[in-house]
Structure 1
């Protein structure tokens, strides 16, 4: 039996993560754009693997497990890279954005930990459907991946201030992240509040 193409794309996305790290730290002018390009390619496979799994009838337990793991690894590693480096020279932001980047990263990572724990708990109660991925979560992902891609690029694209626009997208993603967390917690609260403590 052949390995499903959707799972192959998910594995490829995981393999691209250390490649992004290596490229990001190389001391060449082209290294950051190359890291951003690989990250963008990985983000595209994120959209493709789920679509192909449904289209080709190749959904699997392994794919359902690996897909969110790959997504969270991508985001966490990209945030660590951005927090660990001083931002490039900026044109339109006249303050040091490092604190803002760090706080935004903390919000995004903290939300992912909270929602992952919530989904695991709701699954134990047999009510995981109440915290299924919503359209709000998808918009969050779009802003998040776009922002991270532009910030990893770290330099202007022609006359477009990519890093600053990317930071704006990332802040928007953090706001959507908090909003979606509140939505998920409100949906899960009746089940959580009725559950006796262990």
Structure 2
């Protein structure tokens, strides 16, 4: 269904190649603005979908895919270009997402999927991943203390690993037919 929230999500998807190109050509100021616009559009489309009662199946599917494409391309590009973000952190972020995709696929194959909802820990992880990319981009335009960045990278890594473990435990319980506390 074509509605304003889905149009905003599609617009965000089209920003991803521009974001990647900006980083590749080291136009970090432009990349920062594109990333900020994409992050704000993510909040706006979700708000509008709920507020206008325009939540659609395509929006529920497309929104998290676009978010993952944006965040993963940001981590990959910022690790690839001069190792701005540590490679080990990018590997953690990508590994968590692969684990979640494989887990979701397994739950689907075994008919255990009801509705995949992000956990609070998963939402906090997404926040820290977006915040990490944003602050890293800011640090390329303005001075940000290296100690702050290192602490942010470690915090993001901790949330990423913790949410991966949480989703894994939840998935194993679901596959084992155990009750899962909400």
1:171 Cα deviation from its structure 2 partner: 3.0
Q: In the alignment, which residue of structure 2 is the partner of 1:175?
A: 158
Q: Does the C-alpha gap of structure 1 residues 79 and 33 become closer, same or farther in structure 2, counting only changes over 3 Å?
A: same
TM-score by length of 1: 0.78
Report the 3-state secondary structure (helix = DSSP H, G, I; strand = E; otherwise coil) of the residue aligned with 2:105. helix
**2: CA distance between counterparts of 1:167 and 1:47?**
27
Report the 3-state secondary structure (helix = DSSP H, G, I; strand = E; otherwise coil) of the residue aligned with 1:58. coil
1:71 Cα deviation from its structure 2 partner: 0.8
Is the 1:32–1:152 Cα contact (8 Å) retained in structure 2?
A: yes
Matches within 5 A, 1:1-198: 3-26=2-25, 31-87=27-83, 101-129=86-114, 132-155=117-140, 157=142, 159-161=143-145, 165-193=148-176
**2: CA distance between counterparts of 1:76 and 1:12?**
18
Q: In the alignment, which residue of structure 2 is the partner of 1:92?
A: none
1:126 Cα deviation from its structure 2 partner: 4.4
Report the 3-state secondary structure (helix = DSSP H, G, I; strand = E; otherwise coil) of the residue aligned with 1:128. coil
Q: How many residues align?
A: 178
**2: CA distance between counterparts of 1:134 and 1:187?**
10
Q: Does the C-alpha gap of structure 1 residues 156 and 36 become closer, same or farther in structure 2, counting only changes over 3 Å?
A: closer
In structure 2, runs of 5+ residues without a counterpart are: 178-182
Is the 2:24–2:81 Cα contact (8 Å) retained in structure 1?
A: no
Bigger Rg over Cα: 1
1:184 Cα deviation from its structure 2 partner: 1.6
**2: CA distance between counterparts of 1:106 and 1:190?**
26
Q: In the alignment, which residue of structure 2 is the partner of 1:95?
A: none
TM-score by length of 2: 0.85
Question: What do the CA deviations read for 1:76-108 (whole angstroms, capped 9, x no partner)?
Answer: 1111111112257xxxxxxxxx7xx11110011
Deviates more, 1:48-57 or 1:122-131: 122-131
RMSD: 2.5
1:16 Cα deviation from its structure 2 partner: 0.7
Q: Does the C-alpha gap of structure 1 residues 164 and 62 become closer, same or farther in structure 2, counting only changes over 3 Å?
A: farther
